[in-house]
Amino acid sequence: MKTLALFFAFITLHTLNAQQTPKDTSGITIDVVIENITNNNGKVLLSLNTKDTFMKGMGIMNLQSDIKDGKIHVQFTNVQPGEYAIVALHDENNNKRMDFDTGGMPMESYGMSNNEMTYGPPQFSDAKFIVENKDLALNIRF
C-alpha cells in the first residue's frame, strides 16, 4: 500500500504543469476515454508509462482533464512504438495526490489500461499494451 501511495504522490506532482497539446502527426495518438466517473469534482490525472517508469512516480507523458457529465476524453500524442501502460486517478479534492483512509485503502477512484483491478499495487504486466503503427482508443474504468 505504501508503494501505491508513493506512486500516486509522484504522478500527481508531475501533472501539475502537464497540458494537452494539439495533435502531432509524427507519432501515434492514444485516445483515452473514462465514462464512469462518479462526480464532476476535481480532475482526472493520467500517466503514460513504460516498464521502466511504471510505479516509479514519473510517467513519460502526464495529462490532466476536467470532468464533464462524469466523463473525460484525452489524447496522448506523438507516442512512439513500444510497450506502455496508463494509470488514471480521480483527484476529487484537487490536492494532487491519492487519498487513503486510516486502513490504507484508496478513497479516490483509480484505474489503469486493460482495466485489471487486483488487490495491491498495479502491475505493469497487467496494464501493458503495445503501440505499433496505428492510433489506439482505450476505455479505462474506475
3-state SS, residue 13: helix
Phi, psi of 126 (to 5 degrees): -80, -30
Predicted confidence at residue 1, as pLDDT, reads 56
Residue type, 42: G
User: Closest by alpha carbon to 42, among 64, 22, 23?
Assistant: 64
Four-residue CA torsion sign, 40, 45, 48, 49: negative
Task: Give me 77's grid cell.
Answer: 500524442
Measured between alpha carbons, how far is 58 from 60 in angstroms, rounded to an integer? 7
Task: Note whether 131 and 80 are within 8 A (CB).
Answer: yes
Question: Could you give all domains of the chain from N- to C-terminal order, each with its CATH number?
Answer: 2-139 (2.60.40.10)
Encode pLDDT of 57-73 as tens digits.
Answer: 779 999 999 999 999 99
Note down pLDDT in tens along the chain; length 142 residues: 555 554 555 455 554 444 444 444 579 999 999 999 999 999 999 999 999 999 887 799 999 999 999 999 999 999 999 999 999 999 999 998 889 999 988 999 999 999 998 788 889 999 999 999 999 999 999 9
